[in-house]
Amino acid sequence: MLTILFDGIAYGMLLFILALGLAVTMGLMNFINLAHGAFAMVGGYITVLLMQHYGVPFLACLPLAFVGAGLLGAVLERTLYRPLYRRPHLDQVLFSIGLTFMAVAAVDYFVGSTQQIVQLPAWLRGRTEIGDGAWTLGMGHYRLFIIAVCAALTIVLQYVLSSTRFGSRLRASVDDQRVAAGLGINVNVVFLATFAFGSGLAGLGGALGAEVLGLDPQFPLKFMIYFLIVVAVGGTSSITGPLLAALLLGIADVAGKYYIPKLGAFIVYTLMIVILIWRPQGLFVRQGGKA
């Protein structure tokens, strides 16, 4: 039981990092980017290709995946996404889902459709067990590593958004771009940096999740619904909501597949429906409840 809880928390933390960039672009930039999973796939493939073809250590690949996906996000934000900020949400959805299918086709053509394998370092492949009987806690070293990395990123991001000048400039730019520009804030640069950072987080999540979730060209489509559930259930007014939603989703998914494998993802969707009936705006909303 404790092992299932531990694995569910690790899975939830991984989903949180993967979906966080989508929560930022939807909640803070008011842009629906369904191509978010493609940036995660880019980070995963950067890690796999660097390790397989150039012998780059796994830990060194993680920041490279973040930077690579972030740079790609910056280029696409400047060239393709920016003209769509003021367009209707339907246009944004159609554009980003089309970009996702293009990314899937490109990776399938250039890399192939086979499942990619990540060879973790020996110290991340072990497992430690505490206790005995039904209350045995089996902690996979790699899942413990995922929890530690994601927890550290969560703390840093919460500090950046709530306690730094950049965070206040971002919130001001979202609330009223004209007033923010009149106060000397370069709104385009703020949005560019935010989009690039969110894309980089997705790339890092893809690199971390390649061993746990699997990696193939269909990755953005397979996990798109999970990213949307995290954002819809958690809300987009803070990162606390998506974090809690991702943990609930991860624990429910792991426990459901272990105890009731025939139902599969049905438990996750049932949980989502119940929460959204109870809290239509998500678990956390801004003061006034209109987020």
**Locate tokens 């690790």: which residue?**
10
User: Measured between alpha carbons, how far is 87 from 89 in angstroms, rounded to an integer?
Assistant: 6
- Average pLDDT by stretches of 10, the chain with 291 residues: 84 89 79 91 94 92 95 94 88 93 94 88 83 72 91 88 83 77 84 90 92 91 89 79 88 84 78 84 58 41
Residues in the chain: 291
| Whole-number pLDDT of residue 289 | 41
| Whole-number pLDDT of residue 92 | 92
Helices (H), the chain: 2-27, 36-54, 58-76, 89-110, 141-163, 165-175, 177-182, 187-213, 219-234, 240-259, 266-278
User: Measured between alpha carbons, how far is 172 from 151 in angstroms, rounded to an integer?
Assistant: 27
User: Measured between alpha carbons, how far is 16 from 36 in angstroms, rounded to an integer?
Assistant: 13
| Domains of the chain, residue spans | 8-125+138-220
